[in-house]
Amino acid sequence: MKKIRLSALFLLLGFFCGAALLSCSDDDDGPSSGSSNGGLVGTWMTSDGGSGYQFFRDGTFILYEYDGDRETGTYRVLSSERNDILILDWDGAGMEYCPYSLTDDCLTLYSDTDYTVLYKHSNDDYFDEEEDGSDSGNREHHSSLLGEWIEEDGGYVYDYYSFYSDGTGIHGSYEWDIDWVNEDEDIEWYTVDKKYLYINGARYRYWCDGSTLEIEIKGEIRTYYEK
């Protein structure tokens, strides 16, 4: 397997297919039990904040290097009896297999000779925020978002959004027992590539099927249901 060279990230991606847990080939000798995102969704960065990863819920990721370069791909997690394995597919440039360990705020990635520690960051726009708020995709108002949305498990008062077709809307709170909306702020919104939701200039990853809306905010998925 081709070894990916990644400068200055402490040889983070110097993973070897010949590691003790996996075969170097693409045969069936590797772990075979269930796969998921392994709790990796969010932003993970080095202690000095200069580089790191963003793992997204849709199975894609971005590596941010110290020199400003980015590399992208897809990922998945396999669990074996001895380890959890992170599998990175570098957009056709090769695959890497990496044992890892995870706590709430610390991700440790192992190669056969070294390891790298990354720390959870609360701001998912830390690496990718654009100063002028612009974007390079196609702006639209995703029709599945139109209407009123109430956050799941909000207690007595629930977070509330209302999205209108003209790109305006309302953010506030909803009091379930009296069916009352407290309108805290007016918003302007649009979506890009049915992947990013911009609200008053802030960018969030989102998923919506018309009845359920999920917005990724500071590394956490917040779930809303149509009112």
Pair 195, 56: CB distance under 8 Å: no
Q: Quick: pLDDT tens for 106-153.
A: 999 888 788 889 988 766 555 554 333 445 567 899 999 999 999 977
- 128 domain-assigned: no
- Mean pLDDT of each 10-residue bin along the chain, 227 residues long: 33 36 39 58 80 87 78 86 84 84 87 85 58 60 94 80 95 90 92 87 85 81 89
- Asked whether residue 92 falls in the same domain as residue 45, the answer is yes
Which helix H or strand E contains 149, and what residues bound it?
Answer: strand 147-151
- 161 domain-assigned: yes
Strand partners, 64: 52, 70
Cα dist from 79 to 36, 38, 186, whole Å: 9, 9, 45
Classify 204 as helix, strand or coil: strand
Q: Quick: pLDDT tens for 196-207.
A: 898 887 888 888
Domain that holds residue 77: 35-121
Q: What is the mean pLDDT of the chain?
A: 76
- 130 domain-assigned: no
- Asked whether residue 116 falls in the same domain as residue 147, the answer is no
Q: Which of residues 121, 148, 165 is at a domain's end?
A: 121
